[in-house]
Structure 1
Amino acid sequence: MNTYFDIILRSISVYFFMIIALRVFGKKELSQLNTADVILILLISNAVQNAMVGSNTSLLGGLAAAAVLFFINFLLKKLMYKYPKFNNYIQEKPEILIHNGTLDFKSLSKLNITSDELKEAMREHGVENFVDVKLAILEIDGNISIISGENNLKQTQYKRRLRRKKIIT
């Protein structure tokens, strides 16, 4: 079999293995990385590098594997955008962690989110107590969004521009 065709098949296999592994282990793994997470990523990249290029350690072999990964990622994002059902299969939905100051212990347990992690996210958003949280959501990218019950919520410039466009149309 052609060496580069072999690299393409191996790279596609590794890519989809990683997609499935992240889906199984959850979106929490995508959020802020600690030391163990960084070590895991480095070890995984080292382990799968050989699985993708095999014995071909040439520059062209590495570039072929990288090109396949970029192409597969591009194609997957296009498919996720075009087909919402496919997107739902690949990506998990956001999960509500706190609603009107009440913690959803079932979701927290299912997602393995500790109270310390939740408190850290609250502190990052300037909220001290659980009762002050109107809504806390684990987003699809693994970050925790916090909306407090305060009237003086801050908005980003991006959200303001979107609102103006909606009002005009």
Structure 2
Amino acid sequence: MFGLTTPWWEIILRTAVVYVVVLVLLRVAGKRELGQMSAVDLVVILVIANAVQNAMTGGDNSLIGGIIAASTLVAMNLIFGRVANRIPLLEHLFTSEPTLLIDDGKLIQTHLQRENITREDVEMSAREHGIGDLSDVEAAILERDGSISIIPREGRKTMRTVRRIRQLRNRP
């Protein structure tokens, strides 16, 4: 239970390598994948966690081995966060800039395609902000964390929202 079968330094090294690899894989997956996980995304994350568990501990199932791996993950996260905030190149590698998805009520198709966002994703976010029609959106922005921020047009009436809600109610 408390005895290590893998040296402590090896657990730290393995965990650090796994952290960096998983971070790169998630970065490649795109910011939208992190913003709103579907059931499939959750399954992938759980399977990845299970797959890398043995890679981190080297087969060590002791309590101490788990604590060392968990502590290493937290430390790596803190270190990467602080270093990335101080070094712009690293910040650019590990975080992304917000992406404009709607400008003046019009979808920007090239940005949607690049970020793997559908019109339905943007419409859902607009509805979450109480907007039923994308023409009532001044701007929609895919944020660094994968969420979509909606900036409504000023002074628009809610009639379009009411019509859209009626359409959804009449769907089979």
**TM-score > 0.5, shorter chain as reference:** yes
Which secondary structure does the structure 2 equivalent of 1:146 belong to? strand
Residues 87-144 of structure 1: CA distance to partner in whole angstroms, max 9, x if unpaired? 1121111000001111110010111111111110010011111111111000000000
**Equivalent residue for 1:88, pick from 76, 87, 92:** 92
Matched, 1:24 2:35: no
**Equivalent residue for 2:132, pick from 110, 113, 128:** 128
1:48-127 alignment, distance < 5 Å: 48-127=52-131
Residues 18-76 of structure 1: CA distance to partner in whole angstroms, max 9, x if unpaired? 11111111011111221111111111111110110012110000000001000010011
Q: Distance in 2 between matches of 1:59 and 1:14?
A: 19
Pick the structure with greater CA Rg.
Answer: 2
Matched, 1:142 2:146: yes
Gaps in structure 1 of 5+ consecutive residues: 153-169
Gaps in structure 2 of 5+ consecutive residues: 1-5, 157-172
Matched, 1:47 2:61: no
CA displacement at 1:145 relative to structure 2 = 0.3
Q: Distance in 1 between matches of 2:148 and 2:30?
A: 14
Letter in 2 for 1:101: G
Q: Distance in 2 between matches of 1:131 and 1:74?
A: 41
Which residue in the other structure is 2:169 paired with? none
From the superposition, tell whether residues 61 and 138 of structure 1 become closer, same or farther in structure 2 (CA, over 3 Å). same
Q: How many residues align?
A: 151
CA displacement at 1:151 relative to structure 2 = 5.1
Which secondary structure does the structure 2 equivalent of 1:147 belong to? strand
Displaced runs of 4 or more, over 3 A: none
Which secondary structure does the structure 2 equivalent of 1:36 belong to? helix
Letter in 1 for 2:108: D
Which secondary structure does the structure 2 equivalent of 1:134 belong to? strand
CA displacement at 1:83 relative to structure 2 = 1.7
Aligned-pair Cα RMSD in Å: 1.3
